[in-house]
Amino acid sequence: MSHPVLACRGVAKLYGPKARRFVTDGRLTADAAELAAAGVTAAVRDVDLEIARGQTFVIMGLSGSGKSTLVRCLSGLTPPTAGEVLFEGRDLFRFSEGELIQIRRHQMGMVFQHFALLPHLSVLGNVAFPLEVQGRPRAVREAKALEMIKLVGLSGREARFPRELSGGQQQRVGIARSLAADPDVWFLDEPFSALDPLIRREMQDEVLRLQGMLKKTIVFITHDFDEAVRIADRIAIMKDGRVEQIGTAEELVMSPATDYVRAFTREAPKAKILTARSVMRPAPAGAQFGGLIDARARIVTFAHQVGASDAAFGVVDNGRIIGAIDRLAMIDMLVGRERGASAA
């Protein structure tokens, strides 16, 4: 079994006077009350996670939850006060400074919330800039930059400057620039939160399209659960520096580990998240079905078909019927649980 591309083992990041006195043998040894009494802020506390190769891993939480600090640790920009950040199985902060710079230049790419484009450079110059930092010949870096500009749909705008582009176009330049060095791990820190809703959705589609082509390992930061649902393979929900739960969107909605996760996911679009497997009931022996539905299909893809029929539908996994779903079962999942909670 291959090791994860990135992992955290007991990672904590503390800020305040003599914060390291609360760390013993590389591990945080104080609770929140002790830290607060000493005037020490725990931006990240006791985080354990693993990110597999080719996975889109979303870290989410409200403002101040610690998600951006955690990403700075994962990307090698901020050393943790306690614990380890492992990159390809090695402690990221045991690399030499020179090795760490090379990792960040060649194996990691980042897209920021506020674009961070260089205003005096054209689109071509901005996208080619990481390759210039690497010392690549001009012809090589411009050829690669043109390839990336085409990839994000900005061909014909190579000579324009950032001020001449819309917000969505500027973010596409940021995406192209971050991909120019062909990074193994792609960090996106709330990249679309400054965009209006229509452009934001367009950019989410762009990330999905690029991931389908490039198969990068993506670490994506957001506070928007709908956005996480659209793009994530797995999601980590943070609160007060801690990871409350890690799982797929379906796991978080169906089996919240804490009251906070339950509240965070309460308004989630269940029809877009839950699958037939989540809704199904045991199939009666010898039942006659109105049709068959794949166990992995999302409710939104079969809701109209099931809702318009009085018949039950068989739920199929690898050609075998594993359960049944009917109109009442679907409505109970989408509406009934919340009504019961309200009544209580």
Strand order in the sheet with 90-91: 41-51, 6-15, 82-87, 90-91
Please report the pLDDT score of residue 340 as a whole number.
Answer: 38
Closest by Cα among 54, 5, 52 to 211: 54
Compute CA distances 293 → 40, 65, 322, whole Å.
54, 39, 11
What's the rounded Cα separation, in Å, for the pair 139 and 137? 6
Asked whether residue 293 is assigned to any structural domain, the reply reads: yes
What is the model's pLDDT at position 285? 83
CA distance 93 to 73: 9
Please count the structural domains in the chain: 2
- Of 243, 268, 293, the residue that ends a domain is 268
318 shares a domain with 201:
no
What 3-state class would DSSP assign to 274?
coil
Structure tokens at 325: 């779903």
Which CATH number is 330's domain given? 3.90.1280.20
Q: Report d(CA 49, CA 28) in Å as an integer.
A: 16
My answer on whether 193 and 306 are in the same domain is no
Query: Which residue type occupies 295?
Result: A
Q: How far apart are CA 325 and CA 327, in angstroms?
A: 7
Instruction: Say if 161 falls within a structural domain.
Output: no
Domain check: are 261 and 276 in the same one? Answer: no
Instruction: Identify the three-state secondary structure at position 216.
Output: coil
Nearest Cα residue to 73 out of 90, 89, 92: 92
Q: Which structural domain, as residue segments, surrounds residue 75?
A: 6-107+183-268
Helices (H) and strands (E) in the chain, counts: 15, 15
Asked, for residue 282, whether it belongs to a domain, the answer is yes
Assess contact for 146 and 226: CB atoms under 8 A. no
For residue 233, the 8-state DSSP code is S
Residue 339: per-residue pLDDT: 37
pLDDT of residue 191: 87
Task: Based on the fold, state whether residues 187 and 253 are members of the same structural domain.
Answer: yes
156 within domain boundaries: no
Does 287 lie in the same domain as 190?
A: no
Would residue 147 count as lying in a domain?
no
Residues 92 and 241 in one domain: yes
Do 275 and 335 have their domain in common?
yes
Q: Are residues 63 and 195 in the same domain?
A: yes
In Å, what is the CA distance from 280 to each residue of 252, 286, 299, 329?
Answer: 18, 16, 11, 7
Question: How confident is the model at residue 2, as a pLDDT?
Answer: 63
Q: How many CB atoms lie within 10 A of CB 33?
A: 8
Q: What is the mean pLDDT of each run of 10 residues along the chain (344 residues)?
A: 86 93 91 91 96 96 92 94 95 93 90 85 95 92 94 93 92 91 91 84 90 93 91 96 96 94 89 90 87 93 92 93 91 62 36
Residue 45 maps to a domain: yes
Q: Give dist(CA 144, CA 149) in Å, integer.
A: 9
Question: 228 and 285 share a domain?
Answer: no
